[in-house]
Amino acid sequence: MTTKSDANYEFYHNVVCAIPGWLNQGAAIRTMDMLEFQEEQGMRGALLEIGVHAGRYFSILVRSAARTKSRVVGVDRFLDPSVEKVQQTVTPLLGGGAAIAILIPAHSTELDAPGLLDHLSERARFISVDGSHECHDVFWDLRLSEQLLAPGGVVAVDDFINPIAFGVNEAVHRFFLQPRRLVPWAYIENKLFLCHAHWAQRYTAMLERIIMDDATERHSDVFRRHIGISRQLVERTLWGSSLLILGP
């Protein structure tokens, strides 16, 4: 009998890994867990990625959109590969159902929240910020995300604490210098995850339960060993919010 976990790894190896790009396996699998949690909770909302490239992480969002008959929007300049090439990759993943994938060839700073909301048709339950790594651009994307996120939604910020992407770190810290409706709740293999404050505890409880039961991902074994020593090795505070840490 194929379990949800088996299906996730099958999708990762057969679909995600066939698409050019950079994505740690653990971050991919845990993102699928988050999306399945949203689906199980009956959460409605579109999905959005800023910085699609060839569509590697985007394919995970498309999979969830297809299962929930939602709209998924990708923003990228689409210089290489072209928007037509990425559309060819994405279309089969929609399964021919009611889900719709829209690719917008643009720099995110050329767009505003009302315009993106027109494309999304409803607020987004999952947003990936993975475009430019310059501080100004990432800060713009974070502000867009805060305006577009549906209640209970998640924002994934790629390349946080990456030494070759200091602009991302600077933008995140600049973003949280002012009171925000979003809080950080998890850091998983190069990605920082945000949500609305009153959802953070539900997401962390879900994630920790999955990690403690997981026998596949290396970070899960490390997490269990660390938590046996001290919870401070797996949970820290960032901008006043507790977040779980799953490093490579």
pLDDT, one tens digit per residue, over 120-143 is: 999 999 999 999 999 999 999 999
Q: Are strands 182-188 and 191-196 parallel, antiparallel or unpaired?
A: antiparallel
pLDDT, one tens digit per residue, over 47-69 is: 999 999 999 999 999 999 999 99
Instruction: Give me the pLDDT at residue 247, please.
Output: 79
Question: Domains plus CATH for the chain?
Answer: 4-246 (3.40.50.150)
Spatial contact of 86 and 55, defined as CB atoms under 8 Å apart? yes
Asked if the peptide bond before residue 81 counts as cis, ω within 30 degrees of 0, the response is yes
- Chain-centre distance of CA 193, in angstroms? 7
Task: Write out the two tokens for 164.
Answer: 């070759």
Q: Which residues pair with 124 in a beta bridge?
A: 46, 149
The amino acid at residue 37 is F
pTM: 0.97
Q: Is the dihedral of CA 223, 227, 232, 236 positive or negative?
A: positive
Nearest to 58 by CA among 130, 121, 6: 130
Percentage, residues of the chain above pLDDT 90:
94
* Residue whose tokens read 């720099």: 107
